[in-house]
Amino acid sequence: MSDRGWRGRLGPAVGIAPGARVDKFEIFFDLVFVFSFFNISRTTAANITGRALLHALLVLAVLWWCWVVHTVIATRVRIGEGFVPVLMVAGMAALFCFALALPQAFQDPHHAEAGAIVLAGSYLVIRAVHLALFLHVVRVDPVERRQLLRYAPELILSTVLLLTAALLPAHLPDTDTAQLVRDGLWITVILLQYSTGLLARTWGWEVTSAEHWTERYDLILIIALGESVISVGLGSNLIGQPPTWPGVSAAVLGIVFTAALWWLHYDVIGPAARIALHASQGRPRVLMARDAYAYLYLPMIAGIILFALGAEGIVHDIAEPGVPVSAPAQGPDVPLLFGGVICYLAGNMLFQLRTLRTLSWLRLGTVGVLAVSIPLAMPLPGLVTMGLLTAICVGLVVAEVLLMSEARRALRAAVFEERTTHEAAEAAYRARWHQNPPEATP
Which pLDDT belongs to residue 238?
Answer: 65
Q: Residue 327: how many CB atoms within 10 A of its CB?
A: 13
The predicted-structure confidence for 116-130, as pLDDT tens digits, reads as follows 788 888 888 888 888
Q: Which helix (H) or strand (E) holds 121?
A: helix 113-137
Which pLDDT belongs to residue 1?
Answer: 41
Least confident of 90-94, 194-198, 317-321: 317-321
Q: pLDDT band for position 3 (50/70/90)?
A: very low
Which pLDDT belongs to residue 372?
Answer: 96
Q: pLDDT band for position 2 (50/70/90)?
A: very low
Which pLDDT belongs to residue 335?
Answer: 94
The yes-or-no verdict on residue 200 having pLDDT over 80 is no
For 19, list phi and psi in degrees, rounded to 5: -105, 20
The yes-or-no verdict on residue 161 having pLDDT over 70 is yes
Which pLDDT belongs to residue 264?
Answer: 94
Percent of the chain at pLDDT > 70 equals 91
Mean predicted confidence (pLDDT) in 3-32: 73
The yes-or-no verdict on residue 173 having pLDDT over 90 is no
Q: pLDDT band for position 199 (50/70/90)?
A: confident
Which pLDDT belongs to residue 365?
Answer: 95
CA atoms within 13 Å, Cβ hemisphere of 379: 1
Considering only CA atoms, which of 117, 155, 161, 165 is closest in space to residue 133? 155
Which pLDDT belongs to residue 203?
Answer: 57
The yes-or-no verdict on residue 107 having pLDDT over 60 is yes
Average of per-residue pLDDT values in the chain: 85
Least confident of 232-241, 321-330, 340-349, 350-359: 232-241
Which pLDDT belongs to residue 112?
Answer: 62
The yes-or-no verdict on residue 233 having pLDDT over 80 is no
The predicted-structure confidence for 33-82, as pLDDT tens digits, reads as follows 888 888 888 888 878 888 889 988 998 999 999 888 888 888 888 887 88
Q: pLDDT band for position 390 (50/70/90)?
A: very high
Cross-strand pairs, 328: 381
Q: pLDDT band for position 389 (50/70/90)?
A: very high
Counted residue by residue, the chain has a size of 442
Please indicate whether residue 48 or residue 262 has the higher confidence score (pLDDT). Answer: 262
The predicted-structure confidence for 129-138, as pLDDT tens digits, reads as follows 888 887 777 7
Which pLDDT belongs to residue 69?
Answer: 86
Alpha-carbon span 303 to 299, nearest angstrom = 6
The yes-or-no verdict on residue 18 having pLDDT over 50 is yes
The yes-or-no verdict on residue 357 having pLDDT over 80 is yes
Alpha-carbon span 430 to 418, nearest angstrom = 19
Give the orientation angle of helix 333-356 with respect to helix 382-403, to 10 degrees: 20
**Cα torsion 198, 214, 19, 355: sign:** negative
Which pLDDT belongs to residue 317?
Answer: 83
Please indicate whether residue 384 or residue 196 has the higher confidence score (pLDDT). Answer: 384
Mean predicted confidence (pLDDT) in 162-179: 84
Q: pLDDT band for position 300 (50/70/90)?
A: very high
Q: pLDDT band for position 271 (50/70/90)?
A: very high
The DSSP result for 232-244, as a single string, is: HHHHTT-TTS---
Alpha-carbon span 392 to 395, nearest angstrom = 5
The yes-or-no verdict on residue 29 having pLDDT over 70 is yes
The predicted-structure confidence for 366-375, as pLDDT tens digits, reads as follows 999 999 999 9
Q: pLDDT band for position 349 (50/70/90)?
A: very high
pTM of the model: 0.89
Please indicate whether residue 135 or residue 297 has the higher confidence score (pLDDT). Answer: 297
DSSP at 40: H
Q: Quick check: 148 and 134 in contact, CB under 8 A? A: yes
Mean predicted confidence (pLDDT) in 214-232: 87
The yes-or-no verdict on residue 30 having pLDDT over 80 is yes
Which pLDDT belongs to residue 6?
Answer: 52
